[in-house]
Structure 1
């Protein structure tokens, strides 16, 4: 039996949808697009970064791939590989792990680039534009292919590239200035 496609007229309508699975969906033009499972390498890198951040911030303020972030444009939601929340998000996300447009943006989002030109474009261009529009103060693009970490910082409403760090260069982060971390450590973990 073929199941009819679900079409949503608003993001709020989508939020009330539950298909009884743990499948993550992006909402494109009112229709659900299932996301593939995260790669083992991306999960490993995100976990390593989470463990590096825990000494500096309450672990409840760090979320992995399952956190949903409402954004403007298409798709209307993203699932960053790693997100650092604000203190008020802890209580706000108890019911549903979704940061809505009506909420303050997270402090930091990290995307780990998956192989393929489409994924590169998505992380370096599309998500960059949506996260910038959302007002997220800092965005990291962790790229296993180039073994680099690009740090973007929001200044006067636009992302400025702080650096594309490689090898033993210490990653510069205004959100975590005390973090003494290099791309070499990330990619060898």
Structure 2
């Protein structure tokens, strides 16, 4: 079944009926078509980051997942089928195995990384950032492969992201939700 166009808002139940070739994310019930295959630079940066996380997490409770991997972010008492937000972050780290099922993750991952593509800049930096904050994602990274830069946000006790910290190719990022993991960006942007 292809994605219907006769409604403006959708649920996870609708999402599950769409064809496998449809790469779509739902945010507050609105469908956002994902761009065609990301650039080579996007993929190289994502692979380098995923390797850093995966190697560090080997044998540990937390797990790293790369897109396509559904992350369902229900609000309040929404059932799975009623959920209005289903995203496919470039990289997700989940430390609570109770959030994982065969469909992906239900609830906020501990860390989400989005690697910006030209068509995803506004979505990643405004719409998704706000929804991730509301859902309780503890750490959020926005990676700019062409600029060789990373902007990180950390969820404060107030339930809001901090002002963010910027990092360049020469910097090392200490991952706040994973004690002991520091990632030299020169390896990521090599």
TM-score tier after normalising by the smaller chain length: 0.7 to 0.9
Which structure 2 residues correspond to residues 37-116 of structure 1 after superposition, within 5 A? 37-58=37-58, 61-71=63-73, 76-89=85-98, 92-94=100-102, 96-97=103-104, 99-100=105-106, 103=107, 105-115=108-118
The unaligned stretches of length 5 or more in structure 2 are 76-83
Give the total of aligned pairs.
177
Which of structures 1 and 2 has the larger relative contact order (alpha carbons within 8 angstroms, sep 6+)?
A: 2
Measured at CA, do residues 187 and 25 of structure 1 come closer, stay the same or move farther in structure 2, by a change above 3 Å?
A: same
Query: Partners of 1:164 and 1:124 in 2: how far apart?
Result: 14
The 8 Å contact of residues 27 and 87 in structure 2, kept in 1 or not, is answered as: no
Deviation at 1:33?
Answer: 4.4
The unaligned stretches of length 5 or more in structure 1 are none
Q: With structure 2 as the length reference, what TM-score do the two structures score? A: 0.77
Q: Which runs of 4+ in 1 moved over 6 A?
A: none
Query: Partners of 2:165 and 2:30 in 1: how far apart?
Result: 37
Which structure 2 residues correspond to residues 6-21 of structure 1 after superposition, within 5 A? 7=7, 11-19=11-19, 21=20
Q: CA RMSD in A?
A: 3.0
The 8 Å contact of residues 45 and 145 in structure 2, kept in 1 or not, is answered as: no
Q: Secondary structure at the match of 1:181?
A: strand
Q: What per-residue deviation string (whole Å, max 9, x for no partner) do you get for residues 43-81 of structure 1?
A: 2211111111123214882111111223479x8332111
Query: Partners of 1:164 and 1:149 in 2: how far apart?
Result: 6
Q: With structure 1 as the length reference, what TM-score do the two structures score? A: 0.77
Query: Partners of 2:143 and 2:4 in 1: how far apart?
Result: 38
